[in-house]
Amino acid sequence: MPQVEFQPLSPKKEQLSKTDVQTSGTVTHRIAWTHCGSPFNAMNPEEKSISFDVSSTWDSQPLDHRPVRISIGREQNGTLPITITGPLFNSPPAPPEPKGNVPGLWDYEVAEIFFLGDFGKYLELEFGPHGHYLALLLNGQSNSIKQGMPLHYEAIKDNKSWTGRVQLPVSYLPPNVSKINAYAIHGEDPNRVYEALYPVPMNAHEGPNFHRLQYFRNVDLRPLLTSCNTELSEVWEDAMKTPSGACT
């Protein structure tokens, strides 16, 4: 991800300092950069999101199809709007469960987003094209302490593509999110396909593992948040007290 100089607002001004539009490979920034917690009232509605294209296999091979795109908008009423768009493979078939929270969703066609914060704490989000989702809190690599948190998620699809939209409670984010990765999975063994926003180097590992945190890259969510996310939320505090022990 390109490094973008952060230009704070003058304390005497209640306006945006500047708008940056940068594209580098799989990441597009269209953000008005401000202090964390500064008002966004002057923002152009078309310039308030970060978008990511999951445009590689997990081990740095090119894709043979249009990539999954994930866009994160600015906070509204305590939630971050996230939109996922991508090709529909319909393989494997949809989970048998009704739309909503589904444990083990990673075994199906799915797009995933990981937000990494302080001290190895991270949020894992999974979204399927048939209206299913899964949210997990993890404290350390692959150490899930809570899963099954509710989300307002909707998905629509046609024969070739799908779009998912979710309102992510900011309270689900770990403190001081600084890194991100995203993934997409489809197909059935032995032809299952694993894709990554930030893949591992070619021939570095024998198989995919989306919890290799060392390959996550920097992200700055501060321009999208209306308050600084620096402390554990009640959701995280409760999860730390009574971990579920469910691992992915």
Q: Token pair for residue 89?
A: 């493979």
Name the E strands within 17-106. Answer: 18-24, 27-33, 49-54, 56-57, 68-73, 79-87, 100-101
> What domain range is 214 assigned to?
52-241
User: Has residue 27 been placed in a domain?
Assistant: no
User: Has residue 128 been placed in a domain?
Assistant: yes
Q: What is the tally of structural domains in the chain?
A: 1
Please give the Cα distance from 243 to 129 (Å, whole number). Answer: 29
The pLDDT tens digits for 152-168 are 999 999 999 999 999 99
What is the pTM for the complete model shown?
0.82
The pLDDT tens digits for 94-150 are 999 999 999 999 999 999 999 999 999 999 999 999 999 999 999 999 999 999 999
CATH of the domain at 145: 2.60.40
The pLDDT tens digits for 207-236 are 999 999 999 999 999 999 998 889 999 999
User: Has residue 156 been placed in a domain?
Assistant: yes
The pLDDT tens digits for 26-79 are 454 443 333 344 333 333 344 589 999 999 999 999 999 999 999 999 999 999
